[in-house]
Amino acid sequence: MFDSKKPQPDTAEHDAWFPSEFSLAQYVPPMTDYEAAEPGTVASGPRKILMIATDERYLPVEGGQLFSTGNHPVETLLPVMHLVQAGYEVEVATPSGLMAKLELWAFPAKDQAVKDAYEALLPKLKAPKKLADVIAHELGAGSDYAAVFIPGGHGAMIGLPSDEQVGTVLRWALDNDRHIITLCHGPAALLAAGDAFAGYKIAVFPDSLDEGANVKIGYLPGKLTWALGERLKQRGVELVNDGMTGAVHADRLLLTGDSPLAANALGQLAVEKLRERV
């Protein structure tokens, strides 16, 4: 008998799984809440945004199975759409320089604006910069990067939290008064900077969903091997949300959101805060 809550197999890898049909029906609406801002660019200052994407696809869960993941397309594209509309150029980098991985099963099928944004960004997603090259040649006090953006999706939990290059970029942003923008599971990357974010307050995807409902409805093929929120709290980070409501939060130059529901609001907040800095 067909079980719509059973994760669907990803036949490209042994024991790898996509979310269940039931969970996708709950979590992936055909349209987003993207709302274009009033036309107008940020007048001056650095003109680029450095997006650090994941180059990994498979996240191990308890029991040895793999979750077929990546960066969430809504969490990636809606903030980018707001930043591009404000006049910024978004550059994509991955730790390896290999292509960015997206959860295309989470794409809003009927949202033409998001489709257009994806097509525009696709060449950079397929051929991103290598993060080490960005560090060597493009960072510094006079860098043209105004902010670092780390999109969500469970793929952000693979590699990024322990990547020394990611830690270097985040510490550069803190030391040079650049914004850091991230949401959902993207704050996993903050762990790469050690205790640099101790004392900060953030919005993040709640552990309770990853440990409970996301397993029960087959979004995940098993419980995660570690809890993101708990790990952040161990590093001195304070979480401002318990659930998934679309909350965003600003603490100094760190801008965060709790889920795909926060993607539009986070993009708006990022542009607002960048304009205030100018």
Catalytic, out of 184, 204, 255, 266: 184
Confidence (pTM): 0.97
Domain with residues 27-276, CATH architecture: 3-Layer(aba) Sandwich (3.40)
pLDDT per position as a tens digit, 1-44: 458 999 999 999 999 999 999 999 999 999 999 998 876 667 67
Domain boundaries, the chain: 27-276
Beta partners for residue 89, in sequence order? 48
Return the pLDDT at 43.
63
Amino acid at 82: H
Query: Is 184 labeled as catalytic in the residue annotation?
Result: yes
User: Distance (Å, rounded) from C-alpha 155 to C-alpha 185?
Assistant: 8
- CA 266 vs CA 97, 130, 173, 221, 243: distances in Å: 26, 26, 18, 29, 17
pLDDT above 90: percentage of residues in the chain: 93
End-to-end CA distance of the chain: 60
